Amino acid sequence: MDWTTKQVLITGADGFIGSHLTERLISEGAQVRAFVMYNSFNTWGWIDTFSSRDKEAMDIFSGDIRETDLLKQALKDVDIVFHLAALIAIPYSYASPSSYIKTNVEGTLNLLQTGLECSVEKIIHTSTSEVYGTAQYIPIDEKHPLQGQSPYSASKIGADMVAESFYRSFNLPVTTVRPFNTYGPRQSARAIIPTLILQMLKDTTIRVGSLHPIRDFTYVGDTVDGFIKAAEAEEINGKVINIGSNQGISIGDLTDTLAQIVGKEITVECEEERVRPAHSEVNRLLCNNQRAKELMQWQPTVNLTEGLAKTVNWFEEHQHAYKSTLYNI
């Protein structure tokens, strides 16, 4: 695909994955419109850290995906939409379930409806491996049952089903990309890898939740490559595509690996407030990425050790951007 001919809208461009995707598309020469969450401080999340050159190369649109009028303005003359805007923290979804429905389900509905009205060429909708819940079999392919084990995962299941319905009902060209535990620079401190790294950089006593769950981690650069390839691929409208490494590691082993990279002897303490409710904990996630390989020629290029080392180096230089002593739900 010749990205220099494409007008692109990225919702959630101010966030973790969205900011990396924004940088990548600017480098590809796309005309990028970055949809960021409106706030009275006029801050743009991680886009505030971009170079002046990159900021000048894109159009910043402040708004809220819960508001259809703003989306109509944002989608004007857009060819391709990458929809990443969402509420993502699982612990906060226990405290405020309705906000997840409003943003993740209703916000996605608004985007899809507006995309249909504006006749966009393609929409890449972002799912999450959390929708699978605890694996009933491994590796998890796209046919695995969906299980709402938290209000967050339930809201993302709802959003995924709305996307599917718009493809089936209105032939909307939408593809659902389902990343497995993306990590890397700029990730929120409420995620496990930043939580561990930031604590290790400050102290030798590390506070965590459950150590037994197994996760499949993918470096953010590889995830971004998956989004790009999904937009470029043909014949995948209406499909769900897993993006993951097909490698699993327990949180306990992950903690030990990070301690070795940081170079510290640590003591691990399990805190009750960090432990999910028993029926809500997702005990095992392991990706089957065969569909991504076959339909998009995508596969991860950064192994876990290399990716963790890059991530540790970045957090060492950006500790000031985080409240590392606080538990962030």
In a domain, 259, yes or no: no
Q: Of all helices (H) and strands (E), which one includes residue 61?
A: strand 58-63
* 3-class secondary structure, 267: strand
Would you say residue 191 lies in a domain? no
Q: Confirm whether 192 is domain-assigned.
A: no
**DSSP 8-state secondary structure symbol assigned to residue 37:** E
170 occurs within a structural domain: yes
pLDDT, tens digit, for every residue of 264-275? Answer: 999 988 888 888
Distance CA 259, CA 255 (A): 6
**pLDDT, tens digit (0-9, with 9 covering 90-100), for 97-137:** 999 999 999 999 999 999 999 999 999 999 999 999 999 99
**What pLDDT score does 329 carry?**
67
Q: State which residues form the domain around 41.
A: 3-183+219-246+286-301
**Which residue, among 49, 67, 54, 66, has the nearest Cα to 25 in the 3D structure?**
54
Q: How far apart are CA 30 and CA 2, in angstroms?
A: 8
Residue 190 lies in a domain: no
Q: Please indicate, yes or no, if residue 98 is contained in any of the structural domains.
A: yes
Asked if the structure places residue 204 within a domain, the reply is no
With a cut of 50, list the residues of the chain below it in pLDDT: none
- At residue 270, the pLDDT reads 85
User: 197: which 2 tokens?
Assistant: 């790294």
The answer to whether position 256 is within a domain reads: no
Give the per-residue pLDDT at 272. Answer: 82
- Say what the pLDDT of residue 206 is: 87
Tally of domains in the chain:
1
* H or E, element range at 183: strand 182-183
Whole-angstrom distance, CA of residue 242 vs CA of residue 246: 10
| CATH number for position 107 | 3.40.50.720
- Collapsing DSSP to helix, strand or coil, 23 comes out as helix
Report pLDDT for 306. Answer: 98
What is the rounded CA–CA span in Å between residue 93 and residue 329? Answer: 9
pTM: predicted TM-score of the whole model, two decimal places: 0.96
pLDDT on residue 273: 81
